[in-house]
Structure 1
Amino acid sequence: MDIRTITSSDYEMVTSVINEWWGGRQLKEKLPRLFFEHFQDTSFITYENGAMTGFLIGFQSQSDPKTAYIHFSGVHPDFRKMQIGKQLYEVFIETVKKRGCTQVKCVTSPVNKVSVAYHARLGFAIKKGDKTVNGISVFADYNGPGQDRVLFVKQI
């Protein structure tokens, strides 16, 4: 498997598979082109035999340079359980550590139980929110009315 940083020309390739990789959930709008233009050196794509197997879009916070943020990551359904996501996270963490980051944050929806469990396995802690949904601490209306989110943090 090969890993490389993204380029702006990767936008169409990545966004064309998002809804399919997430079982029909409409998530393409969550990943605008600006990420492919402005966060290339902290965002990565994996390949095997010339085909994209996964990606991670992340950046170092301008407001808090000690913090890095993973905005979106995904692995092709046929390649899950092969540690591709874990490798992407490790490359990202190593990259941002070299830039002086001491923590990584990310957010997911409480309905995405796979994501919640995955981040816990990777050593991310759930930040205590202001409400509980299905036994998970969440921040109510984090992304607007009815848009509760689970916030994660990992010290690196």
Structure 2
Amino acid sequence: MNAWSGTWEGAGPAGTVIRNARPDDHGRILRVCDAWWGRPVTHILPRLFLDHFHATSLVAEDEGNLAGFLVGFPSQARSEEAYVHFAGVSPAHRRSGAARELYRLFTNAALVEGRGVVRAVTSPSNERSIAFHRSIGFTVTGPHEDYDGPGTDRMCFELRL
């Protein structure tokens, strides 16, 4: 295990374990994303994220089935920051503590590595994500107009560690 990994049992359904992601988790995640979100979102996670950042990303499994994931990485350009690119929990595991634990493991690893800030963004319409990030201590700002290009506004999240 490295600073970016850990295991978790007990806060959710019995048998749930969190481990480092692997490149071959990409297909598993893509197969469930659209159903978990109720809209097309697979374009948010190109394969390169798990090819290059699997060691700093996490997967939650319940009896071998995908229960959640967090794809994140330490910033290469901003040595004090880490970034969560994409995270999700299956509808069956929501409100179990799985998302909170994925973020706890990631932020703890960021802190161990000397990172003092974790950032993320989402669409202004993603009210569930906005509420979740606020509930775990992130400061939420926005919407920031044209953040990801013309007509693509974003809410920005910042957690000071």
Q: TM (normalized to structure 1)? A: 0.91
Q: Which 4+ runs in 1 deviate beyond 2 A? A: none
Do 1:93 and 1:104's aligned partners in 2 also have CA atoms closer than 8 Å? Answer: yes
Look up the match of 2:78.
64
Task: Tell me if 1:9 matches 2:37.
Answer: no
Tell me the CA shift for residue 43 of structure 1: 0.2
Look up the match of 2:48.
34
Task: Tell me if 1:22 matches 2:27.
Answer: no
Look up the match of 1:50.
64
Tell me the CA shift for residue 98 of structure 1: 1.4
Do 1:125 and 1:154's aligned partners in 2 also have CA atoms closer than 8 Å? Answer: yes
Question: Structure 1 vs Structure 2: percent identity of aligned residues?
Answer: 38
Do 1:67 and 1:103's aligned partners in 2 also have CA atoms closer than 8 Å? Answer: yes
Look up the match of 2:8.
none
Whole-angstrom CA distance in 1 between matches of 2:96 and 2:30? 22
Do 1:42 and 1:96's aligned partners in 2 also have CA atoms closer than 8 Å? Answer: no
Whole-angstrom CA distance in 2 between matches of 1:12 and 1:41? 17
Whole-angstrom CA distance in 2 between matches of 1:106 and 1:112? 13
Q: Tell me how many residue pairs correspond in the alignment.
A: 146
Match of 2:116 among 102, 109, 112: 102
Whole-angstrom CA distance in 1 between matches of 2:126 and 2:66? 23
Q: Which has the higher contact order (CA 8 A, sep 6+)?
A: 2
Whole-angstrom CA distance in 2 between matches of 1:22 and 1:62? 29
Q: Report the aligned-residue RMSD.
A: 0.8
Tell me the CA shift for residue 32 of structure 1: 0.5
Match of 2:149 among 121, 144, 151: 144
Task: Tell me if 1:113 matches 2:118.
Answer: no
| Aligned partner letter, 1:39 | F
Whole-angstrom CA distance in 2 between matches of 1:96 and 1:122? 16
| Aligned partner letter, 2:35 | E
Tell me the CA shift for residue 41 of structure 1: 1.7
